[in-house]
Amino acid sequence: MIFTIKAFAKVNLSLDIIGKYPDGYHEIVSVFHSIELFDLLTLRPICKKNLILDSNIKIENNILQKIWDYISSKYDIKSGLYVNLEKNIPLMSGLGGGSSDASAFLYAINLIFSLGLSRKDLVNLSINFGSDMAYFLYGGMCLVEGRGERVTKLKEYLKEKIILVLPKKGISTSFAYDLYDKNSKTTDYTEGFFEGRKSGFIKTGNIFEDLILPLDPDLKKIKEVLNENCEWNLMSGSGSAFYAKTKKIDTIREKLSGKARVIVSSFKPLELELIEF
6, 101, 132, 255: which one is catalytic? 132
94 is in an annotated binding site: yes
24 is in an annotated binding site: no
141 is in an annotated binding site: no
Distance CA 19, CA 94 (A): 20
Residue 151's Cα: distance from chain center in Å?
A: 14
What b/e sequence results for 152-183 when a residue is b if at least 16 CB atoms lie within 10 Å of its CB, and e otherwise?
A: eeeeebbeeebbbbbbeebbebeebbebbeee
Q: At what angle do helices 97-112 and 63-74 cross, to 10 degrees?
A: 30
97 is in an annotated binding site: yes
Collect all residues with Cβ–Cβ distance below 8 Å to 82 and sequence separation of at least 6. Answer: 43, 44, 45, 46, 52, 54
What is the residue type of 67? I
Residue 69 known to be catalytic: no
Distance CA 109, CA 264 (A): 31
Distance CA 197, CA 120 (A): 28
Question: What is the chain's alpha carbon radius of gyration, rounded to the nearest angstrom?
Answer: 19
6, 10, 223, 268: which one is catalytic? 10
Three-class SS state of 193: helix
Cα→Cα distances 52→46, 79, 89, 182, 253, Å = 9, 12, 21, 41, 39
Residue 210 known to be catalytic: no
258 is in an annotated binding site: no
- In this structure, are residues 185 and 210 in contact, taking their beta carbons and an 8 Å threshold? yes
Catalytic residues: 10, 132
Binding site per annotation, positions for ATP: 90-100
Binding site per annotation, positions: 90-100
